[in-house]
Structure formats: structure tokens, C-alpha cells
Amino acid sequence: MPRKTLMFLICALVVPAVVSAYDLYVKSVKAPVYAMPDTASGLMVTYEKGTKLAGVENKGNWHMIRVKDGTGWVYRFLVGDKPPLNAEENDALINQYKTFSSKARRRPSSYTAAAAARGLREKRKRFAEKYNLDYKTLEKVEAVQISEAELMSFIKQGIENAHKD
């Protein structure tokens, strides 16, 4: 076997062995990446939610990832091994739980549905009474809406005035 071919093979095997990577996705709104596992070490880059990253190793609360000019460090709770899901997709689920009769409504027979709904209401009522569950107030809590624009404006105002107090 020619020596050059052998050297190429060795290099091809050495590189992946040393820098084996795993996929990570940014799951928070943003994920700052630092030079070292230390926020005082300097911010290298900030990735947006959904960005796919290449993890190299994890250390405590940090993941080392590949960046353009080498490696950087990101907090583990800002990333995950699956692409981020969307909370809005679960709104339908919550709405379903809000209505005791929701499951019964899906049934084809309206007679069965009505009977099942009554049964479910009774069961849920007994369950709520027995364990003192206050769903009515919970729905008030869930009804508080914060729009993305309002939240962003609140955060921006906080950043601008952070050091004024």
C-alpha cells in the first residue's frame, strides 16, 4: 500500500476519533457562546432558537461546541438534542383539559357524547371536590396573556435601565 494512501487513511481516522461530535439545537430564545466555560471569558457569538450546533463534549453545566474559528462553550440548559417544539402547539391540549366534556364531544353519536359528558363532568367534579382542586381560578391564571411584543419591550426597557438604579 502506498505510504501516501496510508497517511491519508490515518488522518481520516484520527480526526473523527479526536473530535467526534453530536447534534445540539438551541432551545432558548438565544444562546450565548463563550470562549471558555465561564461567562467572564468573553462572548464569542450568540445563536438564535432552532440553530443546529455540533457538540464536542459536556462539562458540568456547559457543552463545548464547534464554532467558526474553533470551539466555544454554551450552557447546557439552553440547548437540547432535539429541535425545539412550540408552546402554541400545546394550547389545544390545554383547551382540551379545560372542558370536561371535550373527549366525549369527539364521539360520533351525540347521544353517547351527551351521556359520556355528563359522566365525565360528574367524575371530574367529584375528583375536584375530593382534592380541593380549583380549576376555575386556574383558568384565570391561564388567561393572562403576554404578547411577544410586550415581552420584548419589557426586556429592552430592562436592559436600557439595568444600571440606573
User: What part of residues 110-149 is at the interface with another protein (CB under 8 A)?
Assistant: 116, 119-120, 123-124, 127-128, 130-135, 137-138, 140-142, 144, 146
Per-residue b/e over 76-109, b at no fewer than 16 CB within 10 Å? eebbeeeeeeeeeeeeeeeeeeeebbeebeeeee
Please select the residue that binds another protein; options are 1, 69, 108, 111, rule is CB under 8 A: 1
Beta strand ranges found along the chain (DSSP E) = 22-26, 30-36, 38-48, 52-59, 62-67, 70-75, 79-80
User: What are the residues facing 79 on neighbouring strands?
Assistant: 26
Q: Of 20, 95, 110, 112, which one interacts with another protein (CB under 8 A)?
A: 20
The answer to the question of residue 37 lying near another protein (CB under 8 A) is yes
Single residue of 58, 66, 114, 121 touching another protein by CB under 8 A: 58
Minimum CB distance to another protein, residue 2 (Å): 10
Output 69 or 144, the one with its CB closest to another protein: 144
Identified binder of another protein from the candidate list 32, 45, 51, 66, rule CB under 8 A: 32
Handedness of CA 68, 71, 75, 80 (dihedral sign): positive
Contact with another protein (CB under 8 A): which of 70, 89, 111, 149?
Answer: 89
Nearer to another protein, 52 or 142 (CB): 142
Cell (9 digits) for 139:
383558568
